[in-house]
Amino acid sequence: DQQVKQNSPSLSVQEGRISILNCDYTNSMFDYFLWYKKYPAEGPTFLISISSIKDKNEDGRFTVFLNKSAKHLSLHIVPSQPGDSAVYFCATFQGGSEKLVFGKGTKLTVNP
Partner 1 sequence: SAVISQKPSRDICQRGTSLTIQCQVDSQVTMMFWYRQQPGQSLTLIATANQGSEATYESGFVIDKFPISRPNLTFSTLTVSNMSPEDSSIYLCSVRRGQGNYGYTFGSGTRLTVV
Residues in contact with partner 1 by the rule CB under 8 A: 2, 4, 9, 32, 34, 36, 41-46, 49, 89, 91, 93, 98-105
Taking the complex as a whole, the smallest distance from the CB of residue 78 to partner 1 amounts, in Å, to 23
Query: Distance between CA atoms of 76 and 20, rounded to whole angstroms?
Result: 5
Closer of 23 and 80 to partner 1 (Cβ): 23
Taking the complex as a whole, the smallest distance from the CB of residue 9 to partner 1 amounts, in Å, to 8
Closer of 33 and 77 to partner 1 (Cβ): 33
Query: Distance between CA atoms of 56 and 64, rounded to whole angstroms?
Result: 6
Characterize the bridge pairing of strands 10-14 and 106-111. Answer: parallel
Taking the complex as a whole, the smallest distance from the CB of residue 85 to partner 1 amounts, in Å, to 18
